[in-house]
Amino acid sequence: MFGFLNGLAIVIFTSQFSQFQTATGSWLSGPVLWIMLGFVALTMFIIHFLPKFTKAIPGSLTAIVAVSAITIGLQIPTKTVGDLASIAGGLPSFHIQWFH
């Protein structure tokens, strides 16, 4: 079981590398990279150390709220879910499959 979970963690970790690239495929650099790494470090810090103080609030939820509040409060331009994929809602259209 540990091997499966470690493998899953590696797959998830490596899938995040694309977030450190620009639309042209080059790696982030300069202030944008440092802001991103700062948010990653802050998130990891909160998730690791918050449970040592209290278990009433999940560390991951606290990290999401804290980083979101900083991003929104300081108006830091970041990619949103809408930038990465369509979030348009709706029901699928009805159709009947015709077989020949």
pLDDT of residue 23: 76
pLDDT of residue 49: 95
Residue 75 has pLDDT above 90, yes or no: yes
Over residues 6-58, the pLDDT tens digits come to 999 899 989 888 878 877 878 888 888 898 889 999 999 999 999 999 889 99
pLDDT of residue 62: 95
pLDDT of residue 68: 93
pLDDT of residue 8: 92
DSSP string, the chain: -HHHHHHHHHHHHHHGGGGGB-TTSPBP-HHHHHHHHHHHHHHHHHHHHHHHH-SSS-HHHHHHHHHHHHHHHTT-----HHHHS-----PPPP--PPP-
